[in-house]
Structure 1
Amino acid sequence: MSATATPHTTPHPTSAQAPSSLDAVWARLSHAQVLRRRALGILGTLAVLAMPWIGSAWPDEGSVHQGLEWAGLALLVLALLGRCACMLYLGGRKGADLVAEGPYSVSRNPLYVFSMLAVLGIGLQTGSLAVGLVLALAAFGVFRWIVSEEERMLHAAFGAPFEAYCARVPRFLPRWAAWRSPQHVTVDLQGVWKTVRDALPYFLSIPVFEAIEAAQDAGWVHVHLWLY
């Protein structure tokens, strides 16, 4: 999510924004988030259904194939740790604050950046760079859409401070030189553990795609498209 207000709270309205208008913005964002989850679920389902007929052009035991799988695992671990780091700064907020510290000081949407890395890592478990990139680009399309909805809400809620934040921090690609962080942060441990729980299914891609490869090698399914 973007530099954001604490979940489940409503920001104080700006002078140009009535409470009823803010409620409408929050309702629209909530609906958009439901659509995002559905879109990602459909994307994941289609990928699993299609993969038995798509194979890596790299030999299963070759260094490239194995290297891509290990790189994918590293990305999954990075995504898990990165999402937890975001929650360290986001989850402990008690009020409706514009979070612009830690990961949110270098990217307006670090949670989505790490989610895209996770999707790339999942795709690389097939041993194909092309599959990983296609899945990551599809996820990027979904996230880019939801970010536009979130930024509309944040602009309505925070006005000029959010505009200044957008001018200073990139939407996705981190600007590491802009990193800033307080010496101490209040941590919501329940939120961090929830983040870990939500991210653990990423690692199910490893046995799922290994099972698909085994089925392909055994001749139970036939590959129709080979990708590098």
Structure 2
Amino acid sequence: MDQISAHYLDSSANRIEDKIIDSRWEHLARAQVRRRHALGWLAAMAMCSLLWIDSAWPEASIQNQGLEWLGLALIFLAVLGRAACMLYVGGRKGSDLVADGPYSISRNPLYVFSMLAVLGIGLQTGSLTIGLGFTAVAYLIFRWIVREEEILLSLAFGKDFDAYCKTVPRFFPRFSLWQSPQHVIVDLPGIWRTVRDALPYFLAVPVFELIEAAQRAGWVHVYVSLF
């Protein structure tokens, strides 16, 4: 009788736990939608405000051109990095605690590469200040969504996730922790979707060139110049 009661208590506890996890998944899905909307609105407002902001470095200067080329390199790195993350996470995200490859040195490498992309996009203006400002705002948004994700992961994986958090930093990589299996199962459609979704990053190049051209032509007036 005691064994039967214990069995039903365990089953009931498991059902309650599953319902809590499902509820957190739904909450996280809504939070992810809000994250995408927030980034979209911020990007739109940034584009509008940048019509009246310019780099304090002359367009042909080494500083201006160097920042733009550095930004382009960071965008390329971000696209390749996000694809590399998908080599390891594939369709496992949410079902397994992924702690290999990029996830062995940072708990959120996808967001790290996204911040690199945001920095690269900001540097297309030729201004380090704008690039760092973009990145700071993106960091605040990603930090918020990561906290939401960590609540779910803690519920789903318990002590394993807690131990993972104690070893691996939330964002900034600790390269000495790198570990990777010899073979990984590759989700090719997932990698393609990741690359496809990241390709719009490169639109920053022609967009900011058009803004600079409009400013040089006198179609819009520059009120603020930033290094």
**Which TM-score applies when normalising by structure 2?**
0.92
- The yes-or-no answer on 1:121 pairing with 2:112 is no
Match of 2:102 in 1: 103
**How far 1:17 sits from its partner (Å)?**
6.2
Report the counterpart of residue 84 of structure 2 in structure 1.
Answer: 85
Give the CA deviation at 1:92: 4.8
Partner of 2:68: 69
Which residue is equivalent to 1:200?
A: 199
Q: Look up the SS of the partner of 2:173 in the other structure.
A: coil
Change in CA separation of 1:61 and 1:95 when aligned onto 2, cut-off 3 Å: closer
Mapped to 1, the partners of 2:82 and 2:33 lie a distance apart of 20
Unaligned residue ranges in structure 1 (runs of 5+): 1-13
Assess, with a 3 A threshold, how the Cα gap between structure 1 residues 51 and 67 changes in structure 2: closer, same or farther.
same
Rounded to whole Å, the distance in 1 between the matches of 2:75 and 2:23 is 36
Q: Distance in 1 between matches of 2:101 and 2:212?
A: 40
Identify the residue that residue 224 of structure 2 maps to in structure 1: 225
Task: Output the aligned Cα RMSD.
Answer: 1.5
Runs of 4+ in 1 over 3 A off after TM superposition: 14-17, 92-95
Residue 11 of structure 1: aligned partner? none
170-179 vs 87-96, greater mean Cα deviation: 87-96
AA of the residue aligned to 1:23: D
Percentage identity across paired residues of the two chains = 63
Trace 1:178-217 onto structure 2 (pairs within 5 A).
178-217=177-216
CA distance in 1, matches of 2:144, 2:65: 34
Seen in structure 2, the aligned counterparts of structure 1 residues 94 and 157 have a Cα distance that, compared at 3 Å, is closer
Contact 1:92-1:185 within 8 A present in 2 as well: no
Task: Measure how far apart 1:93 and its partner are.
Answer: 3.4
2:30 corresponds in structure 1 to 31
Code of the aligned partner of 2:139:
F
What is the deviation of 1:96?
Answer: 1.5
Aligned-partner Cα distance in 1 for 2:217–2:30: 44
Q: Kindly tell me the number of residue pairs found equivalent between the two proteins.
A: 215
Q: Measured at CA, do residues 117 and 95 of structure 1 come closer, stay the same or move farther in structure 2, by a change above 3 Å?
A: closer
Runs of at least 5 residues in structure 2 that lack an aligned partner in the other structure: 1-12
SS at match of 1:18: helix
Q: Distance in 2 between matches of 1:59 and 1:140?
A: 29
1:174 counterpart SS class:
coil
Give the residue type in structure 1 aligned to 2:103.
Y
Structure 2: which amino acid aligns with 1:222? H
Residue in 1 aligned with 2:156?
157
Structure 2 counterpart SS, 1:55: strand
TM-score, with structure 1 as normaliser: 0.92
Distance 1:181 1:210, change over 3 A: same
Rg larger in structure: 2
Q: What do residues 176-211 of structure 1 show as CA deviations (whole Å, max 9, x unaligned)?
A: 000000000000000000011000000000000000
Mapped contact 1:92–1:186 kept (Cα < 8 A):
no
Decide whether aligned partners of structure 1 residues 16 and 174 sit closer, same or farther in structure 2, where only a CA change above 3 A counts. farther
Name the counterpart of 2:10. none
Higher helix share: 2
Closer/same/farther in 2, CA of residues 24 and 140 from structure 1, 3 Å limit = same
Report what 1:10 is aligned to: none
CA displacement 1:113-147 (0-9 Å, x = unmatched): 00000000000000000000000000000000000
